[in-house]
Structures are given as C-alpha cells and as structure tokens.
Amino acid sequence: MTDLEPEVRETLSAPPDYAPRNLDLNQIMVAGVRLRRRRKIVTIGAAAVAVVALFVGGAQLRQATPQPVNPPAATVAPSTPAPKISDNGNELKGPLGDVIATGIRTNNQLELVIFGVSGKTVGVENTYAFAIGERLASGDVTEWASINEDPAVAKNTAPGFHATQHAVEMDGGDVMPAFGYYVGNPAKITAKYQNRTVTAKTAVWSYDRSVTVFWFDLADAPSDALGRPHAYDAAGAELPAGNNKVHGII
C-alpha cells in the first residue's frame, strides 16, 4: 500500500461525528490507478505465465505420450532374374554359378565375363566347360568362345590346368584375353610372356569351389605369345600342372 493508507483507514473506521484530516483526493486517485495498473500488469503477467506453462505443459504432455506411428509397409526386393546366354550358337546351357567379371571392357564399353556352361561344347556327359563373352545391359551374357578339356587327353576334373586359351583378336578389333581353369585352389598362377613373368587374375567358381578360373590382363599378355602357366600354393610351392598346354582358337 501507499503512505496514504493510515489516513484512509482512520477515516473509514472513525465514528459518524469524526472529522477526517485533510486528504488529497487527487493523490488518492492517482495512487489507486497506479495500484490497479500494477495489479493489472501482475495479473496479465500471471496469465501469460499460466498460458506459457499450459503451452509448455501441453508440449511436455505430447512428448511424453507420442502419437503411435504406423510402421512403414514391408518391402520385398524384386528378385533378379538369372542371366541367360544370348546369341547362343553352340546351344550352351548356363550360366552355371556366378558370372565372373574380368574388369576388361570391350570396344563398346561392355564388360568381358567368364561363366561356366554345359552342353554341346563340352563333348562329354556330366562335365562342364567355360565361356567368355560380354555382359549386356539386361544382365544376360554373350558367348565369344568356349573352352573345355579334350576328353582324349585328360579328365576335366583332374587336378591341375585345363583348356588354357591364348589371347586372340576377335572380329571388330576386340581382343579376348588368355584364360582357362585350374582344378584346385592355387594362391598364384603365373606364366611367361615374351621372357617376363606375368601373374593371372583368379576367381573361385561358385558352382564348384574346387575349381579356380583365371585370366591374364591384356596389358600383360595381349597376344598368343603366352607360355605354359604354373600354379603355386601360399608357401610358394608349385602345384600339379595337369594339362597346362596353351591353345589357340580351333
């Protein structure tokens, strides 16, 4: 309250014949307005605090009890169709197992791949061969050439090398790299090319993991000057050679 309050209280509590002291009514009115204004400000401030508290409380309430979220519908990845052999003049069956990428690009920027096959090229029942060709944009593959062991020379599942093929220039200027397969799991395969040793790239065949497919990069062996390949284990010991003769196109 203000310093006028004692006089006001005195006047209000006095008997009827009491003569009040002189009061400044203007000062009383100003003091009253000031008090009301202060109370009003306090009231507005309290209301604002209440609204803020309600807002914050509501926000806290919403955070404490989040609305249930429907989980996204399960999606099933579309299955990739198995590749087919396109332009299949030899009526090969396959590919058998995974198609092996060589990292070599043809003149039309398609990748050369090697893949297992069965069929007429094999020439022997219950056996297999390997083909090389391009992987098309559709995922299908073409056949440039196929290799298989001569059954008159060796069984194609015997340990060692089989049907190694020289690098050959194809129609259109593309060069097919030297490649073949080895029954076993060598750590390294090398050969001589023009008096220097070159190392083949290898991949385990997923259809039969006892078979290793190998090929030589065109930068290392670009022509038919490749010598007989040799296989080595992780310790550097030479493994069985098998039929490691290198052949040209028949």
pLDDT in tens, 226-241: 999 999 999 999 999 9
140 and 222 both lie in a single domain: yes
User: Is the model more confident about 250 or about 91?
Assistant: 91
Residue 27 lies in a domain: yes
- The amino acid present at 104, given as its one-letter code, is I
Per-residue confidence (pLDDT) for residue 119, from 0 to 100? 80
Higher per-residue confidence, 203 vs 12: 203
Given a contact cutoff of 8 angstroms between Cβ atoms, the answer to whether 159 and 183 are in contact is: yes
Q: Is residue 72 part of a domain?
A: no
Which is more confidently placed, 246 or 49? 246
Ordered DSSP codes for 191-224: EEETTEEEE-EEEE-TT-TTEEEEE--TTT--SS
How do 246-247 and 211-215 pair as beta strands? unpaired
Residue that is written with structure tokens 């690009």 in the block? 105
Q: Among residues 223, 83, 75, which one has the least CA distance to residue 139?
A: 83
Read off φ and ψ for residue 6, nearest 5 degrees.
-60, -40
Q: What is the mean pLDDT of residues 153-168?
A: 92
Amino acid occupying residue 33: V
Against a cut of 0.85, is the pTM above it? no
- Residues 95 and 212 grouped into a single domain: yes
Residues 202 and 160 in one domain: yes
Query: Is residue 26 a part of any domain in this protein?
Result: yes
Report which DSSP code applies to 87. Answer: S
Q: Is the pLDDT of residue 10 over 60?
A: no
117 and 196 share one domain: yes
Give me the pLDDT at residue 76, please. 53
Q: Is position 74 within any domain?
A: no
d(CA 213, CA 180): 6
Q: Are residues 114 and 200 in the same domain?
A: yes
Output phi, psi for 156, to 5 deg.
-70, -5
Residue range 89-94: mean pLDDT, rounded: 78
Kindly state the average pLDDT of the residues 149-161: 88
Are the C-beta atoms of 99 and 115 separated by less than 8 Å? yes
Looking at the structure, do residues 99 and 179 belong to the same domain, yes or no?
A: yes
37 and 112 in a single domain? The answer is no
194 & 116 share domain: yes
User: Would the pLDDT of 135 be above 60?
Assistant: yes
pLDDT at 77: 53
Residue 175 near residue 167 (C-beta atoms within 8 A): yes
Q: Is the pLDDT assigned to residue 141 strictly greater than 80? A: yes
What residues form DSSP beta bridges with 223? none
Residue 214's nearest CA partner among 246, 248, 175 is 246
Q: Would residue 236 count as lying in a domain?
A: yes
pLDDT > 90 fraction of the chain, expressed in percent and rounded: 48
Task: Kindly state whether residue 80 falls inside one of the protein's structural domains.
Answer: no
Determine the pLDDT at residue 45: 36
Mean pLDDT estimate for the chain: 76
The percent of residues above 70 in pLDDT, for the chain, comes to: 63
In 3-state terms the chain splits into helix, strand, coil percentages (rounded to 5) of 20, 30, 50
How high is the pLDDT of residue 31?
Answer: 34
Instruction: State whether 54 and 116 are in the same domain.
Output: no
137 in a structural domain: yes
- Asked if the model's pLDDT at residue 82 lies above 50, the reply is yes
Would 25 be classed as within a structural domain? yes
Give the chain's end-to-end CA distance (angstroms, integer).
118
41 and 162, same domain (yes or no) = no
Mean pLDDT of 140-152: 89
216 and 132 in a common domain: yes
Residues 40 and 145 in one domain: no
Which residue range(s) make up the domain with 238? Answer: 85-247
How many Cα atoms sit within 13 Å of 42 on the Cβ side? 6
Domain count, the chain: 2
